[in-house]
Amino acid sequence: MRVIATILIAGGATGIGRASLQAFRAQGDNVFLVDINREEAEAACVETGAGAAEVLIGDLTDPALPKAAIEAALEAFGSLDTVFVNAGLLRAAALTDWTLADWQASLAVNLTAPFLFAQAAAPALRGSPNPSLLFTSSTGALRGHAGMPAYHATKAGLVGLCRSLADELSPQGIRVNCLLPGWVDTPFNGPFWSHQPDKQLAERDLVAGIPLRRQGTAEELAATVLFLASPAAAYITGASLVVDGGYTAV
């Protein structure tokens, strides 16, 4: 009989996070969702699912939120098996238009929050038979695009954080991995497209450079998230798993 797991998803009101929430619940797992988008987060949690869902509304730029979220998840479900930090901030602007506040906000959401979630979650995860930390990085950790210095820098930093935490936490049984999505057709990429002089031309050129000749879907990435959180991935830690249709292979 399959053991029901408890999953915390930070950033799951839309896109990959929401598809993952739906997939975990469909297989009977309980999900504790943390997100700043109240309307979409609450809507996601009232959807039909075999597993239960609870939500905490909060801003990941708040350094107190990760600890509070872990405590709330434990209060709601009594245990924790996977912490999936999926939230991200993408801003695009010419270098001269970037402000220190823009840079610091990206750092807070994309890199500091995952670190603080790991720090707060580790003690609770030790009690799980299949504990894992999972971060959403990006193929932006491997390639660069003009106008997005903070996104690329923080997503590359997240890969380094993953490797360091894997070395420290794996002896305690906690696996730590990074998901590196390529181009996925969700609203998250809106700032990038808005920064392009010709969105249609940019999208056509982008897709032409992907060997599978299309962007991915949130559901395809969610399937990879479920795998990395499952016992089937028991010997995978410190990995940066690229899911990009071949985008970074050519």
pTM of the model: 0.94
Block residue for tokens 């999208």:
203
Token pair, residue 28, equals 């009977």
In a domain, 249, yes or no: no
In a domain, 250, yes or no: no
151 is catalytic: yes
In a domain, 125, yes or no: yes
Cα 1 to Cα 7, 79, 122, 235, distances in angstroms: 19, 19, 27, 21
Cα 237 to Cα 79, 167, 169, 171, distances in angstroms: 21, 9, 10, 11
In a domain, 177, yes or no: yes
In a domain, 30, yes or no: yes
Domain count, the chain: 1
Q: Residues 187, 105, 121, 161: is their CA dihedral positive or negative?
A: positive
Among 104, 90, 111, 88, CA closest to 10: 88
Q: Kindly report the CA angle at 180 between 125 and 17, in degrees rounded to 5?
A: 60
pLDDT at residue 193 is higher than 80: no
Question: pLDDT (tens digit, 9 = 90+) per residue, 76-94?
Answer: 999 999 999 999 999 999 9
Question: pLDDT (tens digit, 9 = 90+) per residue, 43-63?
Answer: 999 999 999 999 999 999 999
Which position among 115, 151, 183, 188 bears the catalytic label?
A: 151
Among 211, 242, 214, CA closest to 143: 242
In a domain, 139, yes or no: yes
In a domain, 33, yes or no: yes
Residue ranges making up the domain that contains 84: 6-243
Confidence of residue 190 (pLDDT cuts 50, 70, 90): confident
In a domain, 149, yes or no: yes
DSSP bridge pairs for 235: none
Token pair, residue 112, equals 């500091």
pLDDT at residue 97 is higher than 80: yes
Question: pLDDT (tens digit, 9 = 90+) per residue, 199-219?
Answer: 888 889 889 999 999 999 999
Token pair, residue 114, equals 């995952």
Domain of 160, CATH number, reads 3.40.50.720
